[in-house]
């Protein structure tokens, strides 16, 4: 290889390593990169997706961003929509048996999914495939043959299975097929690098095992860390509600980003922003020596996120609104409006009618706790009647506003 080619390999390796939790085995990656650079053949990247959860959030983008970087380096990505595996059910949640999705549902889920994903990935370097295309035609004999390459002991290496086995909790036989199928996807696609979170390690390595069985070159498992959610403790997930969805509106996204614990900022910068490495170091040292205000750093982060998913204008606007509402204590320009009847209304009823409280008891509670403002004036009298005027602004808590429009 020429010195230029060697340099290219080194460059790619550096980029791929960035933020990665683990690369198994790294020597294989180097070998594949050398091969790719020498021959001009792009590497085949794979990411498996579960079509049952159509909303993607920042946690998912950690892996997606890495794929994007690989695409930028010239490689091609296969997005495997698990329309077959999805019906089997992911072993991790034992409680809910998954509803079988209809063909149409899978299609439409996959479409919304992919649309969101292309906010991060290059559409022209991404191939979307469905694993039912090659998994469904397998015969029982095929499946048995696949299964015969593995042992129960090997399966029980998986932490989740091991734990359940130890605790005498049930493990269904079909759950063993999940990693097997995912591994077979890699065989089918002749995958060079499979991406996933660190929690996917077992499945990713299973791909290597199966590829070897099939006499293929083994894939590299590239694992990204799991991003902590807004609470700073648990991994970001929709069910925990600690997520920022990529399809969320700019203001929500900005606000949620502002609510992450300070300690989490560097991680978010590293894993989900496009801020270059050098700048990142600047921010970190600034935070450390106190020359950079944590609030300003976080606003920068929030702005970056909005810019990434909604564009420059939306980002600027979100920042402006934040300043206006939270730093200056003012009102947002664009608050929801509600049609109201004019005249005197009991405040409790008004709050419920406007959807600011779910029940009268809750409305009363808000009032008693001093959480209600009308045109900026705090109102605590539970029995109060208010004269509804056009343009009147009712606020509950710090961030819920409604402007009344009298019919």
Partner RNA sequence: GGAGGGGUACCAAAGUGGCCAACUGGGGCGGACUGUAAAUCCGUUGCGUAAGCUUCGAAGGUUCGAAUCCUUCCCCCUCCA
212 binding RNA? (CB under 7 A): no
Stretch that binds RNA, among 3-11, 42-50, 147-155, 395-403 (CB under 7 A): 395-403
Stretch that binds RNA, among 27-35, 55-63, 202-210, 353-361 (CB under 7 A): 353-361
The CA R_g of the chain, rounded to the nearest whole Å, is 26
348 binding RNA? (CB under 7 A): yes
Instruction: Round to whole Å and give the CA distance between 119 and 301.
Output: 18
The structure tokens listed for 186 are: 């890699």
Q: DSSP assignment, residue 200?
A: G
Q: How far is the CB of 232 from RNA (least distance, A)?
A: 7
397 binding RNA? (CB under 7 A): yes
Instruction: Round to whole Å and give the CA distance between 225 and 217.
Output: 26
352 binding RNA? (CB under 7 A): yes
44 binding RNA? (CB under 7 A): no
In the set 370, 375, 390, 405, which binds RNA (CB under 7 A)? 370
327 binding RNA? (CB under 7 A): yes
353 binding RNA? (CB under 7 A): no
Q: Which residues contact 341 (CB under 8 A, 6 or more apart)?
A: 388, 406, 407
Which stretches of 246-293 are DSSP H helices?
250-258, 265-272, 277-289
310 binding RNA? (CB under 7 A): no
Q: Which is nearer to RNA, 221 or 351 (CB)?
A: 351
335 binding RNA? (CB under 7 A): no
In the set 100, 151, 162, 369, which binds RNA (CB under 7 A)? 369
Please state whether beta strands 377-378 and 372-374 pair in parallel, antiparallel, or not at all (unpaired). Answer: antiparallel
Instruction: Round to whole Å and give the CA distance between 219 and 205.
Output: 8
CA atoms within 13 A on the CB side of 189: 32
Q: How far is the CB of 55 from RNA (least distance, A)?
A: 18
- What is the CA 402 to chain-centroid distance, rounded? 30
User: How many residues in the shown chain lie near RNA by CB under 7 A?
Assistant: 42
Q: How far is the CB of 168 from RNA (least distance, A)?
A: 3
320 binding RNA? (CB under 7 A): no
Q: How far is the CB of 336 from RNA (least distance, A)?
A: 13
Instruction: Round to whole Å and give the CA distance between 73 and 260.
Output: 32
Q: How far is the CB of 355 from RNA (least distance, A)?
A: 13
Q: Give the DSSP letter string of 11-79.
A: HHHHHHHTT-SEEETHHHHHHHHHHHHHH-PPPEEEEEE-TT----BHHHHHHHHHHHHHHHTT-EEEE
> According to CB under 7 A, which residues from 245 to 304 bind RNA?
251-252, 254-256, 258-262, 293-295, 298
> According to CB under 7 A, which residues from 116 to 175 bind RNA?
168-170
Q: Which is nearer to RNA, 31 or 373 (CB)?
A: 373
Stretch that binds RNA, among 58-66, 132-140, 154-162, 392-400 (CB under 7 A): 392-400
Q: Which residues contact 172 (CB under 8 A, 6 or more apart)?
A: none
In the set 330, 361, 376, 387, which binds RNA (CB under 7 A)? 361
Burial 316-328 (b: 16+ CB within 10 A, else e): ebbbebbeebeee
In the set 358, 376, 405, 406, which binds RNA (CB under 7 A)? 358
99 binding RNA? (CB under 7 A): no
The structure tokens listed for 80 are: 């495997």
Instruction: Round to whole Å and give the CA distance between 298 and 287.
Output: 11
Stretch that binds RNA, among 26-34, 79-87, 123-131, 365-373 (CB under 7 A): 365-373
- DSSP H/E element including 373: strand 372-374
Q: How far is the CB of 207 from RNA (least distance, A)?
A: 29
Stretch that binds RNA, among 79-87, 193-201, 217-225, 367-375 (CB under 7 A): 367-375
Q: Give the DSSP letter string of 250-263.
A: HHHHHHHHHTS-GG
Q: How far is the CB of 238 from RNA (least distance, A)?
A: 14
Which stretches of 214-258 are DSSP H helices?
250-258
Q: How far is the CB of 406 from RNA (least distance, A)?
A: 23
Q: How far is the CB of 252 from RNA (least distance, A)?
A: 6
Residues of this chain that bind RNA (CB under 7 A): 168-170, 231-232, 241, 251-252, 254-256, 258-262, 293-295, 298, 326-327, 348, 352, 358-362, 364-366, 369-371, 382-383, 396-400
């Amino acid at each position: 290889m020429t010195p230029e080619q060697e340099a290219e390999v080194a460059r790619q390796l550096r980029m791929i390593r960035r933020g990665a939790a683990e690369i198994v085995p790294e020597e294989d990656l180097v070998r594949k990169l050398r091969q790719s650079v020498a021959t001009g053949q792009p590497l085949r990247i794979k990411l498996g997706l579960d079509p049952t959860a159509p909303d993607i959030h920042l946690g998912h983008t950690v892996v997606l961003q890495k794929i994007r970087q690989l695409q930028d380096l010239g490689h091609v990505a296969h997005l495997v929509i698990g329309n077959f595996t999805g019906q089997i059910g992911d072993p991790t949640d034992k409680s809910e048996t998954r509803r079988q999705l209809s063909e149409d549902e899978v299609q439409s889920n996959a479409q919304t999914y992919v649309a969101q994903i292309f906010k991060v990935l290059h559409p022209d370097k991404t191939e979307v495939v469905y694993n039912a295309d090659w998994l469904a035609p397998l015969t029982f004999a095929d499946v048995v043959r696949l299964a015969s390459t593995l042992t129960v002991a090997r399966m029980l290496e998986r932490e989740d299975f091991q734990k359940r086995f130890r605790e005498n909790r049930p493990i269904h036989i079909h759950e063993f097929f999940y990693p097997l199928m995912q591994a077979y996807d890699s065989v089918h696609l002749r995958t060079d690098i499979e991406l996933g979170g660190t929690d996917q390690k077992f499945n990713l390595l299973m791909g290597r095992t199966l590829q070897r069985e099939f006499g293929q070159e083994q894939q590299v498992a590239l694992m990204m860390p799991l991003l902590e959610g807004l609470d700073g403790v648990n991994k970001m997930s929709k069910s925990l509600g600690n997520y920022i969805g990529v399809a969320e509106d700019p203001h929500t996204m900005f606000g949620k980003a502002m609510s992450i614990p300070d300690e989490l900022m560097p991680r978010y910068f590293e894993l989900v922003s496009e801020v270059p490495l050098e700048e990142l170091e600047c921010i970190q040292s600034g935070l450390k020596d106190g020359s950079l205000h944590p609030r300003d750093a976080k606003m920068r982060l929030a702005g970056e996120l909005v810019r990434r998913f909604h564009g420059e204008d939306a980002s600027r606007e979100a920042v402006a609104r934040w300043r206006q509402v939270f730093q200056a204590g003012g009102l947002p320009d664009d608050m929801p409006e509600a049609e109201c009847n004019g005249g005197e209304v009991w405040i409790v009823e008004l709050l419920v009618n406007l959807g600011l409280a779910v029940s009268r008891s809750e409305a009363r509670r808000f009032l008693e706790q001093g959480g209600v403002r009308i045109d900026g004036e705090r109102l605590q009298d539970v029995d109060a009647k208010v004269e509804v005027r056009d343009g009147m602004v009712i606020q509950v808590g710090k961030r819920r506003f409604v402007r009344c429009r009298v019919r």
